[in-house]
Amino acid sequence: MNIAMQRLRSAPPRYWLVLVVAIFFVGLPTVVTSFQSSEWTLVLIFAIVIMGLNILVGYSGQISLGHGALMAVGAYTSVILIHRYHINYLVTIPIAGLLTGVVGFLLGIPALRLSALYLALATFALAVVTPSLIKRPVQLTGGVQGLFIAAPDPPQFAKDAFGAVTGGAVMTSDQWFYYVTVVIAMVLFWFAWNLVRHRPGRALRAIRDREVAAASSGINIAGYKTLAFGISAFYAGIGGALYGLTSGSVYPDSFPLALSLALLVGTVIGGLASIAGPLVGGIFTFWLPIVSGQFVASQPWIPAQIAAVFKNAGPAVTYGALLILIMIFAPNGIVGLITSGYAFLRRRLRRPAERETGQAQPDPETV
């Protein structure tokens, strides 16, 4: 008991932060409306996809501007399985993830031959072509019209639990789906956290920073690079499946170039090579535009015309400016800013004590 207490007291602040965040996300639907929960479902879905993209871009140093296409694979897999084969929607999520993972793994093989620049170019082209590629097999994908599925009903145990917590409120399918997404997001973030702290994560970082040195230390470069692609695509596939399920429909134009770019923006803004980054990035890229759009629309003194322009052009202008500013001034994104600010404060506060003991700070990457 005593030891447990000691460990608890010496836990680094980030553990407490994780706890606070987890409580926030689990409790959220009980205090906001069902519609707002569905918005947060989207944020979490994009956080999952961005986490996958971060494993690829941040940790393995390969770039993909075509993750929207991988999301499309996941979304269509899930929706087609439900629509045509009437498979339970919860079962289709891992199937979609695994299938997309295989697709990503296969994409990773030609990607090995390409430099970062050419990889960016090819995946950019893929992102642009995706909607028209989806439209072609009409029998399978429903063409331009897309495919529709019914919203899943919450199971009885979830209804009971939700009613007990909120004092009798009836759980909507949006709220149920929010919880499905929260659980999946937690599992996937936990998995990513373990992945990057252990052997594969170290190997990926070594490859990213100095490929030749990594190869001469016996790291299987091709294996790890394609593995990163596969895992990243797995996340995109899961996210895509959830995206299709929560929208209740999939269209070719749900996966435009702008989606792929927004995912990259989220990755960079949140912070490359960071576990908290994707969550911050997801909130930033997918929640803030919705909320700011609603805010502008709700202000009577802003003329409707300007509000419409703001809604159309606002995100593009902000994303573009932020991408440039962050790459120039804060390459580690928001999370990088916060951690370096925190480290700065700690140094400031601890400096006199440290001077006496001469203890060096442990390197957070090697812990």
Partner 1 sequence: MQEFIQLIVSGLANGGIYASLALALVLIYNAMGLVNFAQGEMAMFATFIAFTLIDRGLSYWIALPLTLVIAFAGGVVIERVVIRPVERAPVLTLVIVTLGLATLINGTAGFLFGYSPREFPSPFSVRAVNLLGAFVSYRDLGVIATSAVVLVLIYALLQRTTLGLTMRAAAYHPEASRLLGVRVSWMLALGWGLASAVGAVSGIMVAPVLVLDPNLMQTIIIYAFAAAVLGGVESPLGAVVGGLIVGVTVNLAGAYVPFVGGDLQLAVALAIIVAVLVVKPNGLFGRATVRNV
- The nearest distance, CB 8 to partner 1, in angstroms, is 40
Site residues (CB under 8 A) for partner 1, limited to 84-113: 110, 113
3 binds partner 1 (CB under 8 A): no
Print the binding letters for residues 237-266 with partner 1: x by CB under 8 A, - otherwise: --------------------x---x--xx-
- Nearest distance in Å: CB 299, partner 1: 18
CA dist 225 and 229 (Å) reads 6
Cβ at position 51, least distance to partner 1 in Å? 18
Whole-number minimum distance, CB 322 to partner 1, in Å?
7
> For tokens 């052009």, what's the residue?
313
How far is the C-alpha of 311 from the C-alpha of 294, rounded, in Å? 9
367 Cβ neighbours under 8 A, 6+ residues apart: 197
Is residue 249 classed as helix, strand or coil in its secondary structure? strand
Q: Which of 36, 39, 124, 197 is in the footprint of partner 1 by CB under 8 A?
A: 124
CB of 197 vs partner 1, minimal distance in Å: 23
How many C-beta atoms lie closer than 10 Å to residue 274's C-beta? 23
What is the Cα–Cα distance from 13 to 193, expressed in whole angstroms?
16
C-alpha 37/C-alpha 19 separation (Å) is 20
| Separation between Cα atoms, residue 40 and residue 241, nearest integer Å | 16
* Binds partner 1 (CB under 8 A): choice among 87, 95, 106, 121: 121
Binding region for partner 1 (CB under 8 A) out of 26-34, 86-94, 120-128, 356-364: 120-128
Candidates 82-90, 130-138, 231-239, 293-301: pick the segment binding partner 1 (CB under 8 A): 130-138
- Name the residue nearer to partner 1 (CB basis): 117 or 353: 117
Q: Give the amino acid at 322.
A: L
139 binds partner 1 (CB under 8 A): no
* CA separation for the pair 240, 74 (Å, rounded): 5
For position 278 contacting partner 1 by CB under 8 A, the verdict is: no
**Measured from the CB atom, is 172 or 285 closer to partner 1?**
285
Is there a contact between 71 and 255 (Cβ–Cβ < 8 Å)?
Answer: yes
Give CA angle at 88 (84, 93), nearest 5°.
Answer: 95
DSSP three-state, residue 250: strand
Q: Which residues contact 43 (CB under 8 A, 6 or more apart)?
A: 282, 283, 286, 287
Residue count, binding to partner 1 (CB under 8 A)? 46
User: Shortest Cβ distance from residue 326 to partner 1 (Å)?
Assistant: 8
Restricting to residues 160-179, which ones interact with partner 1 according to CB under 8 A?
Answer: none
* 212 near partner 1, judged by CB under 8 A: yes
348, with CB counted inside 10 A (0-12, 13-18, 19+), is exposed
The residue (of 98 and 122) whose beta carbon lies closer to partner 1 is: 122
Structure tokens at 55: 């494993």
Say how far apart CA 224 and CA 288 lie, in whole Å. 35
- Residue 316 within binding range of partner 1, rule CB under 8 A: yes
User: 322 to 351, contacts with partner 1 by CB under 8 A?
Assistant: 322-324, 327-328, 331
Chain residues binding partner 1 by CB under 8 A are 57, 61, 63, 65, 110, 113-118, 120-122, 124-126, 128-129, 132-133, 135-136, 212, 257, 261, 264-265, 268, 309, 312-324, 327-328, 331
